[in-house]
Structure 1
Amino acid sequence: MSAHSCCEMEAPQPLGVSGAAVQTQIMSGGYDLNLFASPPDCNFLCSVCHGVLKRPVRLPCSHVFCKKCILQWLARQKTCPCCRKDVKRKKMVHVNKLRKTIGRLEVKCKNAEAGCVVTCPLVHRKGHQDSCPFELMACPNKDCTARVPRGALAEHRQHCPHGAQQRCPLGCGATLGPAERVRHNCYRELRNAWTQRQERSRTLVLGLLQRMRKVYRTTSLIRRQLAQLGDFLEEDDALLLGGPQEEAEATPEGSTEAEGWGTQGQATL
């Protein structure tokens, strides 16, 4: 039985396992049909997961399945899902040629629903995904759990509440957190900074004036004290210099009088 005829068969359901459980176990085997830009050929479909073959393997009975799908199937039953023939895992063969053919099929970006319109071969899908602007990316800021499209990540980081503080990009010099950057106004910030600087300057000038007045009062007091000390020293100098001079002036007069009295006595005698 060919892969084409097998794909039209519905995979048998193992005993004791519900349909929902089987569907949950095997749906992740092949590629989703909605991934492809145009409906793929029926020969490229896996009859277990009904998706496009992913890592296809062929059984000895010539039926082809996704490797993951058939391994999950054989873990429960040892027969081919299509023809029920006994299967040994050692007899499975990788179909690399079919894998390369499927790899050339055009697929849509996995972010097509988000707005990406790019299509590319299946083998290049991962490379596009690594640069797709619609790919969801985790915010690199610590403690932030947001996931945003790659194209909007830079803007998110500017407004992320967990982001680090940054300088204002307009050059006002302010250091801003994410929440502050949203409502930041350079003109208002500069005006407030200028007002604060004027207040500080006014306070400094008033303090300097008070100190100058205090220094002036102290200097005036010292000058008055020095003037008083100078007057006091001049009076002491005058007293010290005036005493000996008066004594010297008094001595000659006494001597003259003594001499006069001596002459008069001699005359009397």
Structure 2
Amino acid sequence: MVQVNKLRKTIGRLQVKCKNAAAGCLVTCPLAHRKGHQDSCPFELMACPNEGCTAQVLRGVLDEHRQHCQQNGQQRCPLGCGATLAALEGEHHNCYRELRDAWVQRHERNRTLLLSLLGRVRRVHRTTNLIRRQLAQLSNFLEDDTLLLNARVQETEVAPEAEMWGAQGQGVL
């Protein structure tokens, strides 16, 4: 075990070139530190993070590529609002301000709709009251008409009896 550890340390100290030497990287480092260099090597090929772009770009020029990417540098908002932003928009994007502005617009639209609805309710209320008054007048008119009709019926019933009494009285005399 001791010999294996010594061998591992010896191998870890061996100087190796970066795996991206063919792409232009001139770094030579101990084998044990190679992984750390690879994670930051400017000659490492990286996939463009812009949605829809399939380009493989060197890490050192990735930022420049993102600004001029054919996909217009569109990315999702890193703050989580879900907006798709171009590279230049990302610098000026403010989720909270945009959400507040959207809320204000909806609030105003809802207020306008509510006022319109209240106006309609008032018109319906006025119309209902007018109909109630007209129905009350119609009811009074029908009651008056019924009273007049009953009075005429009673007059016609009384009139034949009076004629009868008047005829009998004439014969007796």
Q: What is the one-letter code of the residue matched to 1:237?
A: T
2:29 to 118, 135, 145: 118
RMSD: 3.8
* TM, length-normalised to structure 1: 0.44
Residues 136, 119 of structure 1: alpha-carbon distance in 2 compared, 3 angstrom cutoff:
farther
How much identity, in percent, do the aligned residues show?
46
Aligned residue number for residue 252 of structure 1 = 161
Q: 1:190 Cα deviation (Å)? A: 2.8
Which protein has greater RCO, CA pairs closer than 8 Å, 6+ apart?
A: 1
1:78-131 CA-partner distances (Å, limit 9, x unpaired): xxxxxxxxxxxxxxxxxxxxxxxxxxx843222644xx553449xxx9xx6xx4
Residues 156, 232 of structure 1: alpha-carbon distance in 2 compared, 3 angstrom cutoff:
farther
Aligned residue number for residue 139 of structure 2 = 230
2:122 to 177, 201, 213: 213
Aligned residue number for residue 66 of structure 1 = none
The structure having more radius of gyration, on CA atoms, is 1
The answer to which structure has the higher helix fraction is 2
Matches within 5 A, 1:62-141: 106-109=15-18, 110=21, 112-113=25-26, 116=27, 118-120=29-31, 131-134=38-41, 135-139=44-48, 141=50
Paired residue total: 150
Secondary structure of the residue that 2:46 maps to in structure 1?
strand
Unaligned runs of 5+ in 2: 1-13
Aligned residue number for residue 176 of structure 1 = 84
Secondary structure of the residue that 1:118 maps to in structure 2?
strand
1:214-252 CA-partner distances (Å, limit 9, x unpaired): 212321232233223323322332233222211122233
| Whole-angstrom distance in 2 between the partners of 1:209 and 1:164 | 45
Is the CA contact 2:74–2:86 (under 8 Å) kept in the aligned structure 1? yes
Unaligned runs of 5+ in 1: 1-104, 265-269
